[in-house]
Structure 1
Amino acid sequence: MLPTENRLRRRQDFGEAVRRGRRAGRPLLVVHLRRDATDPHAPGGGSPPARAGFVVSKAVGNAVQRNLVRRRLRHLVRERLSLLPPGSLVVVRALPDAGSADHAQLALDLDAALQRLLGRDARGDAEGRVAR
């Protein structure tokens, strides 16, 4: 289970992450990452924690399969919260094949998507971009 402060709950937060964030697609899931999103409803002081939400549609399977996929994804994201920048919003959308995937396959796809989203900025800065 994700801690309360790390959960995305409001429709506006999901929309912001999907519309304004970057996306990395994999065979089992799509990950949307919006970096440094500030929450106007968060209490003041300090940097806000990273928050994550999940979208698992009926295309994944029946209610039992969807809940299983959602629980697996929550567990995987909880283990990776420390990798996410403070204040970021993450939306993980399960694709239809996720319903028949096991925990390890979901973990591989999630890791690859996060690496792509988080690693691109580091490579871009290392390629000689000038900070202004």
Structure 2
Amino acid sequence: MLPTEHRLRRREDFAAAVRRGRRAGRPLLVVHLRSGATDPHAPGENAPPSRAGFVVSKAVGNAVVRNTVKRRLRHLIRDRLPLLPPGSLVVVRALPDAGCADSEKLARDLDAALTRLLGGGAR
């Protein structure tokens, strides 16, 4: 489970990560990262926590498949949040093939995308 303080919930936060962040695409998912963004909704914090959100559309599959993909992605991102700069916003968008992929393939694509974004790779 992803702790509450590490979840993206507001539409504005999703939009900030997608519109103003960097993007890395992989066959199963697209990761949007806005490094070091401050949280205007948490006054007084010096180093806000990194937060993640997920977009899994109906193109991925039925409700059972979508929820399975979201659970897998939440589990995977939980272990990777400490690697991100404080205050980062991450949005992981699952592509249709993510519905039939196992956790290992999702982890491989997530790691590759995060490495590209954190390592300064080109778009």
User: TM-score range, shorter-chain basis?
Assistant: over 0.9
Runs of 4+ in 1 over 4 A off after TM superposition: none
Residue 114 of structure 2 corresponds to 114
CA RMSD of aligned residues (A): 0.9
Distance 1:45 1:99 in 2: 38
- Scaled by the length of structure 2, the TM-score of the pair is 0.96
Larger radius of gyration: 1
- Number of aligned residues: 121
Report the Cα offset of residue 39 of structure 1: 1.1
In structure 1, distance between residues paired with 2:64 and 2:45: 40
Superposed CA offset, 1:76-126 (max 9, x none)? 0001011111000000000000000000000000000000000117xxxxx
Deviates more, 1:32-41 or 1:101-110: 32-41
- Alpha-carbon displacement from aligned partner over 1:25-81 (angstroms, at most 9, x marks no partner): 000000000011111111313200000000000000000000000000000000101
Give the 3-state SS of the residue equivalent to 2:59 in structure 1: helix
Q: Does 1:39 align with 2:43?
A: no
The worse-fitting range, judged by mean Cα deviation, of 7-16 and 32-41 is 32-41
Q: How does 1:1-132 map to 2 (within 5 A)?
A: 1-120=1-120
Cα distance in 1 for residues equivalent to 2:59 and 2:119: 30
Unaligned 5+ runs, structure 1 = 122-132
* Structure that is richer in helix per residue: 1
Q: Please tell me the residue identity of whatever aligns with 2:77.
A: V
Gaps of 5+ in 2: none
TM-score (norm 1): 0.90
* Most deviating of 53-62 and 42-51: 42-51
